[in-house]
Structure 1
């Protein structure tokens, strides 16, 4: 995935107080959209060090932490071992390079991941294939922000454009709501965040 090299370098110092806080409020926003998930399977897509998924472990029957960065996967593996967690596994995989044909899930969530993906339609299409029928994809990311200028990430997302893209792929029942805003949280800029819930 794009920017994997950057995440490889920061894996061991990724869990800053700010990231831990954003992960907590993001997990809370995702939790509000879960129904009957206690026996369902989930994927924390682009999991990083697992900050969001660890907050949601008790909400699902099982969870797969998936990332393109081996060092990020090492970090979450260590957390799983240290806490003796039984319902979680890890997978190092690049869905931009190939289809994830061996895994299926009832829920996939991705937090501040989409902005790092150059071809979002490709990845969202491949994730659609991973979802079980009736499964949910939940996206947490930044709103479109003109003040963010970057060669390495999208400057957030327009709700309608993202909805249109996902509708073309086949996602339905798409709901988007803002849940958080903060100072200097997106490339040094003030920004707001949304949670999107969709169904296959």
Structure 2
């Protein structure tokens, strides 16, 4: 009996770590027959600026753009850090908090500076991820995952990316950058959101 055809699914990101994260989530859930491809592996297409007021709006726009341009089912996420003492900012501005998009070191340094006088008991924060799945002519689904914790006083660890080195998950004394990839997948905001999409992604090969 021939193997079923592999279904290609676009991940609307050029971040190799995000693709690896989704691959690990699917593998741990026993989902087979899915080939994940990133934006670097498909022809370029116009991408709508991320100007939504919520993570959900931005994720859905990215997934719709990817599905429409390629004809492939598309998964997209928009995620960021919400700091209690900063009125839930940086929020949707997390990737460009210091002014330049994707400058992790500058963004992290700015948050630490803004919290320099904030006592330990008021440094609560949460990572938030909204993940969208858009299937051409079919399902549109958006889910949210939240990972509560607090902000450390200095970066620790060299794993992960973004604000991971200064984020200490609730119930742990290590930063997110000190966790193994498997530990992070099991607990992280993106891992929690992606896990909710697993049945929908698995259904693409059924």
| Structure with larger Rg | 2
Higher helix share: 2
Question: Is the shorter-chain TM-score for this pair beyond 0.5, marking a shared fold?
Answer: no
TM-score under structure 2 length normalisation: 0.33
